[in-house]
Amino acid sequence: MHPIRTASSVLRPTWSRPRKCSLRPCLLAFQTRREHGQPRRNPPPVPSYRPAAAKDPALPVSERNQPEEPVKRYFEEPKPQDDTSSHRGPNTGFTWSNVHYLRPGLWALSVSSGIYCLMAYLEAKKDVKPTPGMLQHRRPQSPWPRQIPPTPTEVATRWLQEMDPISKLSTGIIATCGTIHLGKTLVPKYWASLWHTPYRNVNHTLFTSTFVHGGLPHLILNMYACQMFLPQVGYSRVFEGNSNHTLAFFLTTGVLSGYAQHLLTRFSKTIFTPSGGASGAIFAVLGVYCAQYPDAQLGLLFVPGSLDAQYFLALIMLVDLVGMIRPMKFLPLGHAAHFSGAVMGLGYSYLDGKNVIWNPLVQYWRNRLRKQT
C-alpha cells in the first residue's frame, strides 16, 4: 500500500474502512473529533488508588512501605431516619418504647381541664355581664309588608335565631365535621395530618382527630347519632339545656377517649394505625342518655327489634370489651374509644358531674368576675 495513502487514512477520519483497523475504533475516533485535523483530546485522568501496595511482592521495597491512600469522601453518607425505619417494624431497629404514653396522658388531662375552665368562664361571664345584644331594644317592625323576598343569609340567620341552644350546638358540630371532611378532597395533606397516629408522638391530634372521619358512611352514622342523642341529653337533668356545659363535655370526652385508644396500642401493638372520629364523644353522650333514660327503646339500623337503653348499652360495651382484648379483623373499630366514652358518660351521670365539677367552676369564675366589677 502506498505510504501517503496510509498516512491519509490515519490522520483524517473517513467513512472507508482501513485494512488494518477495525470498524469500531474508527467510528469512535470519528465521533469524538469536531474538526478535521484537530488532535484528539485525552480524557481527564481518573484518580486511582493502590489497594494493599505493601503486600505486593512485585513492587520495590521503597514503594511497599508506603501507606495506602485513604478513600476520599466528598459527601456524608445519609443516616437512616427513625420515621422511615419505623414503618418497617421492629426488625429495622425501631423499638416499641419509642412511643410516648405518659406525655400524651398529661396533655389530655391538661387540655380537658382547660376546656372545662374556659367554658365555665364563658358561662359565668354571660351571667354576670349581660351581652350588649340583651340590652338593646328591638327595632320596631314596619307596618307595611315587605315586597322583596329574603336573601339566603337572612333565611339562615332567622333559622338559627329560632333554634334552641342545644340544637344550635348539635348543628354546629355536624357542620364542623362536614366541613373538615371536605378537606379530604380539597387539602388532603392537611386533612391527613389531623388523624392521630401513635408512633408520630404528636399530642394535638388527640383533639383534632375527633372531627375527622374515614369515609362518608362513617361521617353520616356519627352525625346521625349526634343529632339523635345530643339534643335529648342536653335537656336532661345533667346539663339542663346549658350549651357551654354540653360542649365542654363533648370536647373533653373526645380527647380522653382518643387517649384511651392511644393507650391500647401499648398492648395491641397497632402504633402505625391512624385513629379518628367523633365516636368516643358520641358514646359518652350515649352513656348519659342510657343512664338518664334507661327504659327508652334502642336498636341498630337495619336490624329488626329493640332493647331497653340500659341493656342495649351493656351489650355494646361487651362487644367493645371483647374487641379490645381480641381485635376483630371483620370489625376494625376504635373499641377502646367507644368503651371509654361509654364509661365516662355513665360515670358523669351517676356521680353527678354537674354539681361536682361544673357548678363549682362556674361559681368560682362568677365570684372572680363580681369582684372585678
Inside any domain, residue 79: no
* Contacts of 257 by beta carbon, 8 Å cutoff, 6+ apart: 279, 280, 281, 283, 284, 334, 336, 337, 338, 340, 341, 344
- Tell me the residue type at 175: A
Please list, residue by residue across 167-178, b when 16 or more beta carbons sit within 10 angstroms of its beta carbon and e when fewer do.
bebbbebbeebe
Question: CA angle at residue 84 from 82 to 87, to 5 degrees?
Answer: 105
Distance CA 243, CA 172 (A): 11
Q: Which domain holds residue 297?
A: 100-131+163-372
User: Is 31 inside any structural domain?
Assistant: no
Q: Which three cell numbers stand for residue 348?
A: 358523669
CA distance 5 to 318: 101
Answer yes or no: is 21 within a domain.
no
3-state secondary structure of 111: helix
Maximum average pLDDT range among 13-22, 28-37, 154-163, 215-224 = 215-224
DSSP SS3 for 59 = coil
At 19, is the pLDDT very low, low, confident or very high (cuts 50, 70, 90)? very low
Tens digits of residue pLDDT in 99-128: 899 999 999 999 999 999 999 999 999 888
For residue 95, the model assigns a pLDDT of: 55
Mean pLDDT across 205-219: 94
Task: Report the chain's terminal Cα–Cα distance, integer Å.
Answer: 120
The neighbour count for residue 185, using CB atoms within 10 Å, is 8
pLDDT reading at 352 higher than 90: yes
What 3-state DSSP class applies to 322?
Answer: helix
Give the three-class secondary structure for 312: helix
pLDDT band at 239 (very low <50, low <70, confident <90, very high): very high
Q: Is residue 144 part of a domain?
A: no
287 belongs to a structural domain = yes
- 169 part of a folded domain: yes
List residues bridging with 308 in a β-sheet: 297
What would the mean pLDDT of 9-38 be, rounded to a whole number?
45
Total structural domains within the chain: 1
d(CA 275, CA 278): 10
Pull the grid cell for residue 20. 488494518
Domain at 267, CATH number: 1.20.1540.10
Instruction: Determine, yes or no, domain membership for 5.
Output: no
* Average confidence (pLDDT) over 213-227: 94
- The residue with greater pLDDT, 282 or 90, is 282
**Cell 481518573, residue located:** 46
In a domain, 331, yes or no: yes
- Do the beta carbons of residue 353 and residue 115 sit within 8 Å? no
The three-state (H, E, C) secondary structure of 125-187, written as one string: HHHHCCCHHHHCCCCCCCCCCCCCCCCHHHHHHHHHHHCCHHHHHHHHHHHHHHHHHHHHHHC
Beta bridge partners of 196: 275
Q: Which of 30-39, 119-128, 255-264 has the lowest mean pLDDT?
A: 30-39
Residues 40-44 have a mean pLDDT of 60
Q: H or E segment at 307? A: strand 307-308
